[in-house]
């Protein structure tokens, strides 16, 4: 795995409409098949495979969160996770960004 830091970090606003969600682009990561990426703040472990990415954590144990697929069209669908107590904020975000929600039970 190779990490190249971006100095200064690139900061940008997320979404179609102006909102209060900002992301910082701080590094570029190059990975090879078999590499593991550990994100310590959320204790997330991602393994890189030759077919894509594999989340190694048991995410179902987190009962305070809910998964849903959402995207702007059929080519841009993402698996999203939101906290159950923040459902209204999440649904408002999806509405503002014109994201179509697909319950995970329809896919699995």
pTM, full prediction: 0.56
CA-CA-CA-CA torsion for 22, 24, 48, 82, nearest 10 degrees?
-20
The predicted pLDDT at position 8 comes to: 92
User: How far is 21 from 18, CA to CA, in rounded Å?
Assistant: 9
- 19: enclosing H helix or E strand: none
Give pLDDT tens digits for 61-102: 666 777 788 888 777 788 787 888 888 988 888 888 888 888
60: DSSP letter: G
């Amino acid at each position: 795995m190779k990490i190249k830091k971006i100095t200064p970090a690139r900061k940008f606003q997320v979404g179609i409409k102006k909102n209060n969600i900002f992301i910082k682009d701080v590094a570029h990561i190059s990975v090879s098949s078999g590499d593991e990426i550990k994100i310590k703040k959320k204790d997330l472990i991602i393994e890189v495979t030759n077919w894509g990415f594999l989340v190694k954590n048991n995410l179902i144990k987190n009962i305070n969160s809910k998964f849903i697929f959402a995207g702007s069209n059929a080519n841009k669908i993402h698996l999203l996770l939101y906290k159950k107590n923040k459902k209204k904020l999440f649904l408002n975000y999806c509405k503002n960004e014109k994201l179509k929600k697909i319950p995970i039970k329809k896919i699995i």
